[in-house]
Amino acid sequence: MLALIGRLSWVVWLLAATSILRNERYLERLWLFQTGVIHWEARLLGYLASLIEPYPPFAFDTASR
C-alpha cells in the first residue's frame, strides 16, 4: 500500500511542480494530498517503531487543515 501511495504521490509532485512553474501557485488539493501522505507515513512509522499500539487507519485526515 505504501508503494502504491508513494508512486501516486510522485505523480502528484510532478503535477504540483508544473503548476508552480506555470501559475506560480501550489494547488490546494495537491497540497492536501501530499500532507496527507506525509501524515500517514509518519503514523505508519510510529507503528512500525512500536511507539503506538493500534495500526494506523488508511485515512489522510486532511479535513482539519
Q: What would the pLDDT profile of 11-51 be if each residue is shown by its tens digit? A: 999 999 999 999 999 889 999 999 988 888 888 888 888 88
Does residue 63 register a pLDDT over 60?
no
| pLDDT surpasses 60 at 65 | no
Domain range for 12: 2-48
Among candidate residues 14, 60, 16, 58, the one with its CA nearest the CA of residue 37: 60
Would the pLDDT of 3 be above 90?
no
Tell me if 6 is assigned to some domain: yes
Contact, 61 vs 36, CB < 8 A?
yes
The number of distinct structural domains making up the chain is: 1
Q: Is residue 55 part of a domain?
A: no
CB contact at 8 A, 9 and 33? yes
- On the question of pLDDT at 8 being above 90, the answer is yes
